Structure 1
């Protein structure tokens, strides 16, 4: 078993257990995301229209070896009014089952059905459920590229998720050296197997002789292997003395390195001549998850945040901040890199959709035939409302 897999399975490692429990409390303390009016309009006298948030329905969530996800998703699903069917990796089947039993025992003491949250154990069950588009409203896969693509190709049910976590840190020409080191190192080493860890370091060529060697030295001291393009590799000749692991941890990059999710202490490095080149490189090679710029130039920061087509764009901050708990969501059901409905860490707001509710208070009701040329005209006057008054 790899060390990264063991870390994912072990609920007793570090503060993972306490964090899982804290996530439940945090979600419970959040406002109810359903029943919220996001649009209200008086169409005619005594005819009002409301757009109101409501649950999506039944969620099928498929994830790999992260047993705490069972608890995270259960808390979010219950709070948002969604039922959920959960399938974890086979490596954590018994843990998943025990957590599910505990959740059912808790629900049995409430008005919520005890099987509101269910777990399944086999791929055969998953395959059968993926055919039930009349009953399951949304599939959320969390895991490897192969898992997500397999799900997307196996169902007619809408799928929300991300296939890769190819995140980048760009060191702009005005980057402060100390900030560059802190952001680049933390983005890579804080939790290398996470989808929000940096996999690519993009360096403005003006920094190759000054800032980049210092960043490279800090990464090597953290035992990170560097896969460098020709320019960034040549610039490391200035390191003196050479770090003891230089020969084993630095090599020339290959084209495929820039589209590889390393999930370990490995980072690909590329040099670019301009901010525009950096943006073009990131948009062409990233998975549109999270990308960060280190810069002291406000205009460059603004341009980067608006032009990089990712769910998260940060300024002088580690990519590891891309997380539902850190965003204040309590926890998250997953990360979405799509452009429909929800994007980035998906918390409670990402688990609700909306419906339109209309009420006529007229003595005879309202009909469309009364409106048009030479007839009644719509008022279209905004109503100030946060909840539906009926």
Structure 2
């Protein structure tokens, strides 16, 4: 289930390559494009050994509840779309769901970060595609970095049209450092802003005392999608990446790298914040599962064990 028509080709290719069949449903705005692309896919499959009906398309919304009831036939649902869509899917099916409801990504700007690098990464994370699920939504700034780093970051963001919703500490500092025109455009943040996926040129900004407070904020308010630390400290970076509970944790890199193509998967069926099997961008490998094959000659379990006459398993001890 996806709103963008080009995704049908990506998902169809991954499904066929991984030995899966797929039933696709596009958004109503892209129905005609989906139909046209699906015809091309069907034509291509006719020339292969893959069954033509391995990739199917439904075009009306009324069939969705029926599909969600088919847990005996359908192994996985991958919703791609709005928060409401994903939550609806998760609440109305017994079929496992792969995906994420929110893309509430955060960056922690630590005091030792290179200011120029920090501004470039933050601007890229927020402005290269604001409507994407891997776009930056919350900027956490260490209090000791507010005066040294935040003004240049704010100027760079505002030059791209970003509206900053600031807490008291960051707004007061920026008001004293920015031009009167820029200062007048600063908004007051509300508590809800730090739980909001804006999907637009709006960014919530908040001061935190240290790394621990940044980690606590992200683990409380984040969506387990992608979070970043900007710092020159290896020690702090490793602590951040170990402690933040997210599918993607980056050091000095844009949140926009959370993408199957950028990970080298070729493409993706979506991004998962699940804690089992596939997590993060899910490509071909994420659509594969395990199947164990044992080739024996009448082997039985009772001949193995401790004691006289018993056979022992040839298990290797692994280092702790």
TM-score range, shorter chain: over 0.9
Deviations, residues 95-114 of structure 1 (Å, cap 9, x unaligned) = 01111111011001110011
Deviations, residues 178-200 of structure 1 (Å, cap 9, x unaligned) = 01100111000000000000000
Counterparts of 2:284 and 2:217, CA distance in 1 = 33
Aligned to 2:293: 357
Quick check: 1:377 aligned with 2:314? no
Which shows bigger deviation, 341-350 or 365-374?
365-374
Match of 1:319 among 246, 252, 255: 255
Q: Which has the higher contact order (CA 8 A, sep 6+)?
A: 1
Q: CA deviation at 1:367?
A: 1.8
Counterparts of 1:319 and 1:336, CA distance in 2 = 15
Q: CA deviation at 1:239?
A: 2.3
Q: CA deviation at 1:381?
A: 4.6
Aligned to 1:368: 301
Quick check: 1:267 aligned with 2:200? no
- Count of residues in Structure 1 that have an aligned counterpart in Structure 2: 315
Q: Does the aligned pair in 2 maintain the 1:220–1:246 contact within 8 Å? A: no
Match of 1:335 among 257, 271, 290: 271
Unpaired runs of at least 5, structure 1: 1-61, 383-390
Counterparts of 1:370 and 1:314, CA distance in 2 = 50
Unpaired runs of at least 5, structure 2: none
Output aligned runs, 1:66-85, within 5 Å: 66-85=4-23
Q: Does the aligned pair in 1 maintain the 2:10–2:268 contact within 8 Å? A: yes
Counterparts of 1:133 and 1:341, CA distance in 2 = 19
Counterparts of 1:380 and 1:253, CA distance in 2 = 61
Match of 1:93 among 11, 14, 31: 31
Aligned to 1:46: none
Deviations, residues 24-65 of structure 1 (Å, cap 9, x unaligned) = xxxxxxxxxxxxxxxxxxxxxxxxxxxxxxxxxxxxxx12x2
Quick check: 1:254 aligned with 2:190? yes
Q: Does the aligned pair in 2 maintain the 1:253–1:268 contact within 8 Å? A: yes
Quick check: 1:118 aligned with 2:56? yes
- Residue aligned with 1:210, SS: helix
Question: Structure 1 segments of 4 or more deviating over 6 A?
Answer: none
Q: Does the aligned pair in 1 maintain the 2:174–2:183 contact within 8 Å? A: no
Counterparts of 1:342 and 1:102, CA distance in 2 = 30
Counterparts of 1:108 and 1:246, CA distance in 2 = 62
Q: Does the aligned pair in 1 maintain the 2:46–2:52 contact within 8 Å? A: yes
Match of 1:286 among 203, 215, 222: 222
Aligned to 2:246: 310
Counterparts of 1:327 and 1:83, CA distance in 2 = 24
Cα 1:114–1:215 change in 2 (3 A) is same
- Alpha-carbon RMSD across the aligned residues, in angstroms, is 1.2
Output aligned runs, 1:170-181, within 5 Å: 170-181=108-119
Q: Does the aligned pair in 2 maintain the 1:201–1:268 contact within 8 Å? A: yes
- Residue aligned with 2:70, SS: coil
Q: CA deviation at 1:241?
A: 2.7
Counterparts of 1:85 and 1:245, CA distance in 2 = 50
Aligned to 1:195: 133
Counterparts of 1:381 and 1:282, CA distance in 2 = 42
Quick check: 1:300 aligned with 2:236? yes
Aligned to 1:28: none
